[in-house]
Amino acid sequence: MKIIRTFMAAAAALAVSAFVAPSFAAEDPGPGAYSQALKGKRVMLVPMAMGFDLAQGWAHYLKTEVEAWGGVFETRDPNWVVDAGAQAITDAISSDTRPDVLIIHSPDLNSYAKLMKKAQAAGTYVLLVDNPANFPADAFVGSDWDRLGQLEAEAAIKGCGPNSSKKIGLVQGDQANSSSLYQYAGIMKVLDKNPDFKVVAKPDSNWDATTSRNVTTTMLQQNPDICAIIDFWDGDATGASAAIRDAKLEGKVFLVTTGGGEKTADCDKLQDGTYGAVVMTDLARQSGDMNAVIKFLLQSGQPAGTSHTYIYTLEKATTKADLKPDSCWDLKALQAQAAAK
Amino acid sequence: MNATGWLNWRSLNQEGIVFAIAVVLFIAAAIGLPGFINSNNLVAIVRSVSVLGILALGMAVVIIGRGIDLSAVAIMAMSVAWYLQLLSSGMSDGLAFAYVLAGVLAIGLLNGILVAYAEVPAIFVTLATASFVFGYVRSQLITQDAVPVPPGHWVELLGGLRFLDIPVEVFVFAGLAFAFFLFLRYTKWGRYVYFAGDNPVAARNIGIPVRPMLVLRYVLSALVSLIAGLLTAASLHSINTRIVNSTLLYDIVLVAVIGGIGLSGGRGGVRNVLVGAALIGILLNAMTIIDIPLLYQNLIKAAILLAAIIVDGFINPRDEQTAQQGDI
């Protein structure tokens, strides 16, 4: 109590003196507090791999922002190997330069749960990005995959039209990654509401374009009157599109997929008709959300693991008709920009 | 297979067993699955295993010579990724291809020389070069996992090539299989591969240039990998280096081994690769038509491989005569 009283008295005195003292320039206390809380803080991104558009985009936007407020930004590249990711996280937690914020792109629901708990126990805030996991992270920033699946299914139904065969094929990712499981759940929710639309096949691509091509070829072989295919990632949907091209069904099969909204991966392919619709993540906004959460957490003073926030990125299905010059971001331009610095 | 053919079950070797399983599967699928026997589906089956089969041909020659090439998939993906990256950075096609070809030859030579002259076991050499090729190209030469084929480039046009509605990969696979058959069966150096694989010391004693030939096999395997990579990029209009982390490498070894090419060397040929590829192709296609989830597909694939090996173990038990030194 005594401390509080002293503190209040001091604050009052300070306030009075602030009024009394002739002020030449009004000093905003915000930037000082902001800079004090953030300066020198370390942020580390551990994606599933650094070699694909999403991770490179996140890294670009995060780095720009973190370095602007005087922080240190690092990435680790597990190159799609779950063990390597676990090793990177373990090393990061136990190193002298333990990151203050760890951003993890989890390969599945469970793999890193224990490590993330350890990180929080050591005092590191843990952010999950893009892929949800069975772990109460300080924040999840990414897609609501269920909603994303619903958007894909709605786009597929629209692409098929009311007078079509109403047959839809799915090319799933795998049966472990949350993005694949929840996407499927979302798609089925919409199809349950539209019982005249049927899923005729739902093979897995294992996120591999050649496998996607082979299973799509078989799917089209068995059901040549399919009106739409939903491939669960633009990284392997090039395979599904090759199968459609080979079967000479371009323009007849409406291909829906999802991706990070990179120009060559998504917009160019919408433009040339390879994809009918892409549910694109607004990567700049998603990265902005991460930046905001990082800045909030570092100033909050709360111990890691206190709050559990979900920040879902606004998603929408984009078709050729509503393609705008700024619908996509351009990885090449970002890389050129980074190289120029 | 001997002259008495299939009737004498004692003479059944692994190739025969796998062939029999493939035939049974084929008949079952033809009866049970609508659309399986359709000519387009049959073409799709062959096509789906073409790249795998081409890689398995290269692997087969190396294995017959008592070696193994674990760098095949890395060379396949990284060489083509580098090629496409060079093209997109504006280099002329001829120069870019010359660079890549030189790179592929260099890695093949490195593999061969380390195995033949430094006498490092092939499994370690090729494992190391695979990591090196992947790591170096991925970190130094290309910027992203997936590298697209420039629009209108010959690789893209190659992917669209069809003769009688059959994709070009099928012809390349058939052509290479025939060439490898001729090489192994009718050329002097082809026969030497068997001698060297069966008994390297004896082969050397009778004056066969065992070491230079070892180098040749790894170079051959590297070149075959480049062809497989170009065909993959041709079909997908891009190459994704993530394939290096996939199970493709094991599938290549699986195709060769399940067809009956012994890992101890000296046995097998192109026919074994074709039988192995046929089984895998029919199996994957049938499972996709039935819509079996990937997890179970892997389980079934593994179970059939195990079954073939176990049956082979019963019918052709190992003894001092058949067992060899260096048998993996």
Contact between B288 and A210 using a beta-carbon 8 Å cutoff = no
- Domain annotation covers residue B52: yes
Which pTM does this prediction carry?
Answer: 0.80
Average of per-residue pLDDT values in chain B: 83
**Minimal-distance CA residue of chain B relative to A245:** B160
pLDDT at position B105 over 50 = yes
A48 min Cα distance to partner chain B (Å): 11
Residues 6+ away with beta carbon under 8 Å from A288: A61
Q: How much of chain B, in percent, has pLDDT values that exceed 70?
A: 91
Q: What is the pLDDT of residue A333?
A: 85
Contact between A235 and B293 using a beta-carbon 8 Å cutoff = no
Please give the residue that has the higher pLDDT: either B75 or B324.
B75
**Minimal-distance CA residue of chain B relative to A50:** B144
What is the rounded average pLDDT of the residues A98-102? 93
Task: Decide if B298 touches A, using CB distance below 8 A.
Answer: no
Q: What is the CATH number of the domain that holds B192?
A: 1.10.3470
CA pair distance B47, A236, nearest whole angstrom? 18
B260 min Cα distance to partner chain A (Å): 25
- Domain annotation covers residue B1: no
**Rounded to the nearest 5 degrees, what angle is found at the Cα of A69, between the Cα atoms of A66 and A75?**
20
CA pair distance A253, B150, nearest whole angstrom? 24
Question: What are the extents of the domains in chain A?
Answer: 39-144+283-314+331-340, 145-281
pLDDT at position A128 over 70 = yes
ipTM rounded to 2 decimals: 0.76
Average of per-residue pLDDT values in chain A: 88
Q: What is the pLDDT of residue B317?
A: 66
Q: What is the pLDDT of residue A45?
A: 95
Please give the residue that has the higher pLDDT: either B263 or B146.
B146
Contact between A207 and B242 using a beta-carbon 8 Å cutoff = yes
Of A208, A221, A264, which has the smallest distance from its Cβ to B35's Cβ?
A221
Which of A15-29, B203-217, B242-256 is predicted with the least confidence, judged by mean pLDDT? A15-29
CA distances from A65 to A97, A128, A235, A337, B98 (A): 20, 18, 27, 15, 42
Tokens for B322, please give them: 């058949």
Residue-wise DSSP of B241-287 = GGGGGSSHHHHHHHHHHHTT--TTSS---HHHHHHHHHHHHHHHHHH
What is the rounded average pLDDT of the residues A143-169? 92
Q: What is the pLDDT of residue A51?
A: 85
CATH topology of domain A145-281: Rossmann fold (3.40.50)
Q: What is the pLDDT of residue B301?
A: 79
Q: What is the pLDDT of residue A301?
A: 87
CA pair distance B61, B177, nearest whole angstrom? 11
pLDDT digits (tens, 9 = 90+) for B225-282: 999 999 999 888 888 888 888 878 888 888 888 887 877 777 788 888 898 888 888 8
Q: What is the pLDDT of residue A7?
A: 64
What is the rounded average pLDDT of the residues A169-193? 90
Domain range enclosing B218: 12-21+38-315
- A316 beta partners: A280
Decide the pairing of beta strands A277-281 and B146-148. Answer: unpaired
Decide the pairing of beta strands A72-75 and A42-46. Answer: parallel
pLDDT at position B3 over 50 = no
What is the rounded average pLDDT of the residues B117-130? 89
Chain B residue numbers touching A264 (CB-CB < 8 A): 148
- Domain annotation covers residue B27: no
Instruction: Identify the H or E element spanning B14.
Output: helix B14-32
Question: Of A40-49, B20-29, B186-195, B247-256, which one has max mean pLDDT?
Answer: A40-49
pLDDT at position A18 over 70 = no
Residues 6+ away with beta carbon under 8 Å from A266: A234, A259, A260, A275, A278, A280, A318, A328
Task: Decide if B145 touches A, using CB distance below 8 A.
Answer: yes
Answer for the pair A266, A289: CB distance below 8 angstroms, yes or no: no
pLDDT digits (tens, 9 = 90+) for A279-332: 998 888 999 999 999 999 999 989 988 889 999 998 889 999 888 888 888 888
- Domain annotation covers residue B30: no
A8 min Cα distance to partner chain B (Å): 57
For chain B, the domain total comes to 1
What is the rounded average pLDDT of the residues A247-276? 89
Phi/psi class of residue B106: alpha, beta or left (left: φ > 0; alpha: ψ in -120 to 50)?
A: alpha
Task: Decide if B242 touches A, using CB distance below 8 A.
Answer: yes
Contact between B237 and A202 using a beta-carbon 8 Å cutoff = no
- Domain annotation covers residue B91: yes
- Domain annotation covers residue B323: no
Of A210, A215, A265, which has the smallest distance from its Cβ to B288's Cβ?
A215
pLDDT digits (tens, 9 = 90+) for B48-74: 889 999 999 999 999 888 888 999 999
Q: Which residue has the tokens 């006498």?
A: B119
pLDDT at position B14 over 80 = no
Model confidence at B224, pLDDT cuts 50, 70, 90, reads very high
Task: Decide if B288 touches A, using CB distance below 8 A.
Answer: yes
A310 min Cα distance to partner chain B (Å): 30
CATH topology of domain A39-144+283-314+331-340: Rossmann fold (3.40.50)
Please give the residue that has the higher pLDDT: either A179 or B161.
A179
Which of A79, A80, A213 best probes binding to B when mutated, by most B CB atoms within 10 angstroms?
Answer: A79
Model confidence at B4, pLDDT cuts 50, 70, 90, reads very low
**Minimal-distance CA residue of chain A relative to B229:** A210
Q: What is the pLDDT of residue B238?
A: 86
- Domain annotation covers residue B256: yes
Of B138, B236, B285, which has the smallest distance from its Cβ to A238's Cβ?
B236
One-letter amino acid at B25 equals L
Q: How much of chain A, in percent, has pLDDT values that exceed 70?
A: 93
Of A213, A221, A264, which has the smallest distance from its Cβ to B40's Cβ?
A221
Please give the residue that has the higher pLDDT: either B207 or A204.
A204
pLDDT at position B320 over 70 = no
A59 min Cα distance to partner chain B (Å): 14
Chain A residue numbers touching B289 (CB-CB < 8 A): 218, 222
**Minimal-distance CA residue of chain B relative to A234:** B146
Chain A residue numbers touching B80 (CB-CB < 8 A): none
What is the rounded average pLDDT of the residues B135-141? 87
A324 min Cα distance to partner chain B (Å): 22
Q: How much of chain A, in percent, has pLDDT values that exceed 90?
A: 50
- Domain annotation covers residue B119: yes
